[in-house]
Amino acid sequence: MVARVFRALIGQDEVVEVLERAVAAAKTPEPGPASPGAMTHAWLFTGPPGSGRSNAAIAFAAALVCADDGCGECNNCRTSLRGSHPDVELIRTEGLSIKVDEIRDLIVRSAWAPSNGQYRVVVIEDADRLTETAANALLRAIEEPGSYTVWLLCAPSLGDLLPTIRSRCRHLQLRTPSTTAIAQMLVENDGIDEVMANHAARASQGHVGRARRIATDEQARGFRHRVLQLPLRLTDVGSCMAAAAELISASQEESTREIAPRDEAELVALQDAWGAGATGRGLATGASKAIKELEKDQKSRATALNRAFLDRSLLDLASFYRDVLLLQGGASVALVNDDMEDEVVQLAEHTTAEATIGRLDAIMVARRALNFSVAPLLALESMMLSIRVG
């Protein structure tokens, strides 16, 4: 029977089996012949966005500190999953990079003895964002592990980390969950209507978190539909320039909608901590610097989130042309964008498969350019010019 903390992992049966064996081995003083090497001090979880690599690492951490191997109900499990367990250090980076100072502080904390269990577990959700100096600092800690410290790193692919770090970690590759598995999860866990669940599962292209967002957030569905309408309007240079600007504006609006309440709450909490609203002279000395540091962190987080929304938008556009290409090739496969079947059919009939492949290539080029910090407007204008019809 699968431990409760692992049940949220959709379509990852092989990974769950490995992790459960590791948990069992970690709790056994003298590992038997069936479990040599089942547990190690450093793990690397990779997989495409939405596959659940971070969820797998956090669930593993919870199981390691749980007296019942991941029951999902005890205080150890609940606090681990929330990121508040004293023996589980959860690093969630929403900025553009993880700096060396942060890793050095983390290494010091990781050396502390566990407060109430056998292990002290460190989860780094975005290990691919480590700067070079931060990665080298982390490498030294992994090379000389403590007797009770377990490192769990998460990244999109093996190539996103230094080879020296990869070689010292046990690697687990998560797969993209199937549309059927995601739809079933939305129906059973979230009470979503079956029709909407199937639509969201297809539209998410295997991203569990995005599927839930599409299924439950009407504005998110509207944003996606707005993006998918852009290719239909690309008739000349002017329309391409306008579409690029609109895509950036729409992505910024969506990211602001998601992050603005949190930014405001953080600022209010910080101001309260420095004496806002108290009688006397107002904010304490040093408050201005603290507020500026918070604003800097929030700006970095907003930049990263804007890029994430742009990337999701480009993937949505790619799914549109994927559907067009399938029709042009005569493939009997369900469309991702079944709600735009008429538009897909029309474009498939009036263009060639070669042209569609070229448009898909242009979208991928734009994605790579954005990853290398090319000015978003220039990258998207070039892409729009490449994918317009005629």
Residue pLDDT, tens place only, 257-313: 888 888 888 888 877 777 665 555 556 666 788 888 888 888 888 888 888 889 999
Angle among Cα 115, 119, 123 to the nearest 5 degrees reads: 105
d(CA 337, CA 283): 53
Give the total number of structural domains in the chain: 3
Tell me which residue range forms the domain holding 325.
232-276+291-387
141 and 103 within one domain: yes
In a domain, 129, yes or no: yes
138 and 95 within one domain: yes
Q: For every one of its 390 residues, what pLDDT tens digit does the chain have, with 9 covering 90 and above?
A: 567 899 888 889 999 999 999 999 888 765 555 455 688 999 999 998 888 899 999 999 999 999 998 998 999 999 999 888 999 999 887 667 888 998 999 899 888 888 887 899 999 998 998 999 999 999 998 988 778 899 999 999 999 999 999 999 999 999 999 999 999 999 998 899 999 999 999 999 888 889 999 999 999 999 999 999 998 899 999 999 999 999 999 998 888 888 888 888 888 887 777 766 555 555 666 678 888 888 888 888 888 888 888 999 999 999 999 999 999 999 888 899 988 999 999 999 999 999 999 999 999 999 999 888 789 999 999 999 999 976
d(CA 128, CA 171): 14
For the chain, give the mean pLDDT: 88
Angle between helices 179-190 and 208-216 (to 10 degrees): 50
147 and 169 within one domain: yes
Provide φ and ψ at 149, rounded to 5°.
Answer: -100, 130
Q: What is the per-residue DSSP string for 245-303?
A: HHHHHHHHHHHHHHHHHHHHHHHHHHHHHTTTT-SSSSSPTTHHHHHHHHHHHHHHHHH
In a domain, 91, yes or no: yes
Structure token pair of residue 370: 């954005």
186 and 162 within one domain: no
- Compute and round to an integer the Cα radius of gyration of the chain: 23
In a domain, 73, yes or no: yes
Q: What is the pLDDT of residue 326?
A: 95
143 and 196 within one domain: no
Q: What is the DSSP letter of 68?
A: T
In a domain, 14, yes or no: yes
Structure token pair of residue 228: 């998918």
In a domain, 224, yes or no: no
